[in-house]
């Protein structure tokens, strides 16, 4: 379904009110060309709608979101009431869809999920009240994949910038160098539209939390050498509040001992010091207790024989696998003895690990159905787990790409030229053309016809080629070498090998290598490259729009001026690199003079041995320069200059 749009006035500013194609968001955008939505309202957060009566001349719609409200006045001269009814009806359809997708009131809400009060007295539509009751987890899961929500989630963008210093520097530098015709909202929209995958990954990362772990093995005493020679080592224990909470959660017997003995007769520090040296700790860790080595504790030893209590032992576990039924089908009482891992009574640590695993699993929030619920999975889960690739006749679910030719509207001259060439070639008979090509390429009287066709002469030398070139210049012909000449073959070989070397260097070279540039110059070059790339992205986005208007032409002119400034900044970086290289050259000459004075031998000076300089900067930034040149060329061609 296409998006619904209407001309409205909000806070004395003209703009466009639109409902997204999926009916999940309401957007209000100012009338400035290229502006991004200023107000974004999730439909699920709307609590009520109010519209002006049909008898009043003013047409307005009031949207309530919690304690806030938004009033949109429809400004179309002839279709204001019609646009208001269209928007309202679209929202009502969205609310009814929310009602259908939410669980019914009679269904189970799951453990720990309180059912909300009846919405009959709240004055809100039923669908809106139920939309407020949707779990926050599900709502956020949908936000991970919603591009519109990610693009306008400023808190998430700020959090990502704080976690990524390189992206933060790139963002602020590009915003500082943007042209004045580009607003901050437009820049933010363009910048984040190409980085939605980073925002989505950061949102998922922020929602992830560290699970429980066996905390006792992570806590141990550390030894600190005595202050003086001969003094015994000092044992230190470092424990955090989070670790104490985990201990109480995983080992309820420790919580019981703590509550009964702190603050009297033991203080907090004394309790933990005695606990990590006690037999109770070894029992909880599954280690064997030695009566001779492990010192007794008059208080904590009283808890050795107490059964572990906690969520795992008191929780109701559904009886869906009968482990004791194995004794009936395959009894071990009269056969071989079970494996050691199947006898937890013989190895205490096995029983401890099993109990701890049960407790940790019991603390995890349940994602499946309740224990007393129906056995099996629902239809939606079955459809997700079904192996669709094994179906005999599966529906083709490939993504259909709708390619829009952005230059079709302004490529009239090029199409005319192509049409002329096509008409010219259409006059030729294909059989005559093929016959001519075959006669040119076919061997003739034992000679190689292909070499003859391209004009390659293996007997020629470089001097003959140069004579031909000079003769051509004298006659006013082109200076390009002949296809079959040795100079052309040498040039082609050099170009090919240069491309191979560049590809190999890009694939295998050390990224940290600066090629003779200092870290400061390289950082400046990197920042300049990043900002130039951002402006190039924005230029092509504006340039390839089919609508031609005065605001578009003005914005393009500002972007071209900004790109010219980027070239000036690249030249400034090259000047700084040359200045640094000149200092290195001067130092190298000074060292050679001192060496010549000491040894009496004249040292050979080679300037190529000093890396860095403008040459390195130009080599690194060449693709960016070419991209800027292409943008300027297309812009001038569009203007007809």
Residue 176, domain member (yes or no): yes
Residue 185 lies in a domain: yes
Positive or negative: CA dihedral 353, 355, 357, 363: negative
Task: Answer with the one of 485, 508, 531 that is the final residue of a domain.
Answer: 508
* Same domain (yes/no): 235, 263: yes
In sequence order, what are the residues at sequence separation of 6 or more whose Cβ sits closer than 8 angstroms to the Cβ of residue 85? none
Is 606 domain-assigned?
yes
Check residue 122 and give its pLDDT: 40
CA dist 179 and 173 (Å) reads: 12
Residues 558 and 634 grouped into a single domain = yes
Asked if residue 494 and residue 576 are part of one domain, the reply reads no
Do 125 and 147 lie in one domain? The reply is no
Can you tell me the distance from the alpha carbon of 77 to that of 75, in angstroms, rounded to the nearest whole number? 6
Task: Indicate if 32 and 10 belong to the same structural domain.
Answer: yes
Burial (Cβ within 10 Å: 0-12, 13-18, ≥19) of residue 193: middle
Q: 146, 172, 205: which is the final residue of a domain?
A: 205
Q: Are residues 575 and 470 in the same domain?
A: no
Is residue 478 assigned to a domain? yes
Q: Do residue 554 and residue 539 come from a single domain? A: yes
Can you give the residue range of the structural domain that contains 495?
Answer: 425-508
Same domain, 486 and 525: no
pLDDT at residue 444 in the model = 59
In whole angstroms, give the CA distance from residue 7 to residue 14: 8
Let me know if residue 386 belongs to a domain: no
Q: How far apart are the first and last CA of the chain?
A: 43
Q: Would residue 273 count as lying in a domain?
A: yes
φ, ψ for residue 8, nearest 5 deg: -135, 170
- CA–CA distance from 26 to each of 32, 86, 125, 252 (Å)? 18, 13, 18, 51
Give residue for tokens 């279709």.
Answer: 79
What number of other Cβ atoms are within 10 A of residue 33's Cβ?
15
Residue 98, CA atoms < 13 Å, CB-side half-sphere: 27
Query: Each residue of 588-605: b (16+ CB within 10 Å) or e?
Result: beeeeeeeeeeeeeeeee
pLDDT of residue 349: 76
Q: What is the 3-state secondary structure (H, E, C) of 473-492?
A: HHCCCCCCCCCCCHHHHHHH
Question: Would you state the pLDDT for residue 111?
Answer: 37
In a domain, 452, yes or no: yes
- Does 63 share its domain with 152? no
- Residue 33 is predicted with a pLDDT of 64
Structurally, the chain folds into a number of domains equal to: 5
Q: Are 563 and 539 in contact (CB under 8 A)?
A: yes
Q: How many CB atoms lie within 10 A of CB 200?
A: 17
Which of 462, 481, 508 terminates a domain? The answer is 508
Q: Is 474 exposed, middle or buried (0-12, 13-18, 19+ CB in 10 A)?
A: exposed
- DSSP states of 564-605: HHHHHHHHHHHHHHHHHHHHHHHHHHHHHHHHHHHHSSPPPP
What stretches of 366-441 show up as alpha helix (H) in DSSP?
A: 379-385, 412-426, 430-441
Q: Which among 248, 237, 253, 259 is positioned nearest to 212, based on CA atoms?
A: 248
Q: CA-CA distance, 154 to 188, in Å (whole number)?
A: 10
Tell me, yes or no, if the pTM score tops 0.85.
no
Query: What whole-number distance in Å separates Cα of residue 91 and Cα of residue 40?
Result: 14
Lookup: tokens for 469: 């070139």
Averaged pLDDT, groups of 10, the chain, 641 residues long: 77 84 81 71 81 82 83 85 85 70 42 38 40 40 67 85 90 85 80 87 83 81 78 81 86 87 86 87 82 84 68 47 61 61 69 77 61 60 70 69 60 56 82 84 60 62 56 53 71 86 64 75 89 89 74 84 90 90 87 84 76 87 91 86 63
Q: What is the DSSP letter of 307?
A: P
Residues 5 and 125 grouped into a single domain: yes
Spatial distance between the Cα atoms of 427 and 387, rounded to a whole number of angstroms: 57
Q: How much is the pLDDT for 368?
A: 52
Is residue 616 domain-resident?
Answer: yes
Regarding whether 536 and 502 lie in a shared domain, the answer is no
Q: What are the Cα distances from residue 602, in Å, to 426, 586, 591, 605?
A: 73, 17, 12, 9
- Contact 307/314 with Cβ under 8 angstroms? no
CB 63, CB 69: distance < 8 Å: yes
Which residues neighbour 410 within 8 Å (Cβ) at sequence distance 6 or greater?
546, 548, 638
Is residue 348 located within the same domain as residue 258? yes
CA separation for the pair 128, 131 (Å, rounded): 5
Q: H or E element: which one contains 30?
A: strand 25-30
CATH number for position 12: 2.30.29.30
pLDDT of residue 25: 82
Give the phi and the psi of residue 152 in degrees, each rounded to 5. Answer: -115, 20
């Amino acid at each position: 379904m296409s998006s619904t749009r209407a001309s409205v006035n909000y806070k004395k500013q003209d703009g466009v009110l639109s409902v997204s194609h999926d009916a999940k968001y309401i957007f209000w955008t100012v009338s400035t060309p290229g502006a991004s939505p200023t107000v974004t309202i999730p439909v699920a957060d709307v609590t009520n709608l109010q519209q002006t009566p049909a008898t009043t001349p003013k047409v307005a719609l009031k949207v309530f979101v919690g304690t806030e409200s938004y009033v949109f006045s429809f400004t179309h001269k002839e279709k204001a009431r019609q646009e208001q009814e269209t928007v309202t009806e679209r929202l009502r359809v969205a609310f009814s869809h929310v009602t259908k997708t939410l669980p019914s009131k009679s269904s189970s809400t799951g453990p720990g999920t309180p059912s909300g009060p009846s919405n009959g007295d709240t004055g809100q539509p039923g669908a809106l009240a139920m939309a407020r009751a949707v779990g926050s987890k599900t709502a956020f899961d949908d936000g991970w994949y919603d591009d519109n929500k990610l693009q306008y989630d400023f808190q998430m963008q700020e959090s990502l910038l704080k976690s990524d210093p390189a992206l933060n520097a790139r963002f602020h530098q590009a915003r500082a160098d943007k042209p004045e015709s580009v607003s901050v909202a437009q820049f933010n929209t363009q910048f984040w539209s190409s980085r939605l995958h980073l925002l989505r990954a950061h949102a998922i990362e922020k929602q992830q939390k560290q699970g429980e772990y066996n905390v006792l093995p992570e806590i141990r005493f550390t030894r600190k050498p005595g202050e003086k020679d001969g003094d015994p080592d000092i044992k230190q224990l470092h424990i955090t509040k989070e670790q104490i909470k985990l201990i109480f959660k995983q080992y309820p017997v420790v919580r019981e001992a703590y509550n009964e003995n702190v603050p009297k007769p033991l203080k907090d520090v004394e309790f933990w010091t005695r606990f990590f040296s006690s037999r109770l700790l070894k029992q909880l860790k599954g280690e064997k207790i030695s009566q001779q080595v492990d010192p007794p504790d008059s208080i904590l030893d009283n808890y050795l024989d107490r059964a572990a209590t906690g969520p795992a032992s008191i929780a109701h576990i559904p009886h869906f696998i009968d482990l004791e039924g194995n004794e009936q089908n395959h009894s071990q009482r009269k056969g071989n003895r079970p494996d050691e891992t199947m006898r937890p009574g013989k190895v205490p640590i096995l029983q401890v690990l099993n109990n701890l695993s049960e407790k940790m699993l019991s603390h995890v929030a349940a994602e499946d159905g309740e224990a007393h619920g129906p056995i099996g999975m629902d239809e939606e889960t079955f459809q997700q787990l079904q192996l669709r690739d094994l179906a005999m006749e599966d529906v083709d679910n490939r993504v259909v790409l709708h390619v829009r030719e952005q230059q079709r509207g302004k490529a009239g001259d090029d199409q005319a030229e192509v049409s002329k060439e096509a008409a010219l070639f259409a006059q030729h008979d294909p059989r005559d053309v093929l016959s001519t090509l075959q006669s040119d390429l076919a061997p003739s009287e034992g000679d190689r016809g292909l070499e003859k066709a391209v004009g390659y002469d293996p007997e020629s030398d470089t001097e003959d080629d140069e004579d031909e070139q000079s003769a051509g210049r004298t006659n006013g012909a082109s200076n390009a070498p002949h296809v079959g000449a040795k100079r052309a073959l040498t040039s082609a070989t050099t170009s090919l090998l240069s491309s191979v070397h560049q590809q190999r260097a890009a694939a295998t070279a050390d990224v940290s290598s600066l090629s003779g540039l200092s870290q400061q110059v390289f950082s400046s070059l990197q920042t300049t490259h990043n900002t130039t790339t951002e402006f190039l992205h924005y230029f092509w986005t504006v340039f390839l729009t089919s609508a031609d208007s005065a605001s578009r032409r003005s914005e393009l002119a500002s972007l071209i001026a900004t790109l010219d400034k980027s070239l000036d900044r690249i030249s400034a970086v090259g000047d700084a690199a040359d200045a640094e290289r000149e200092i290195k050259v001067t130092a190298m000459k000074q060292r050679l003079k001192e060496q010549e004075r000491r040894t009496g031998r004249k040292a050979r000076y080679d300037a190529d041995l000093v890396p860095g300089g403008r040459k390195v900067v130009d080599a690194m930034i060449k693709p960016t320069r070419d991209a800027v040149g292409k943008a300027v060329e297309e812009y001038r061609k569009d203007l007809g200059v």
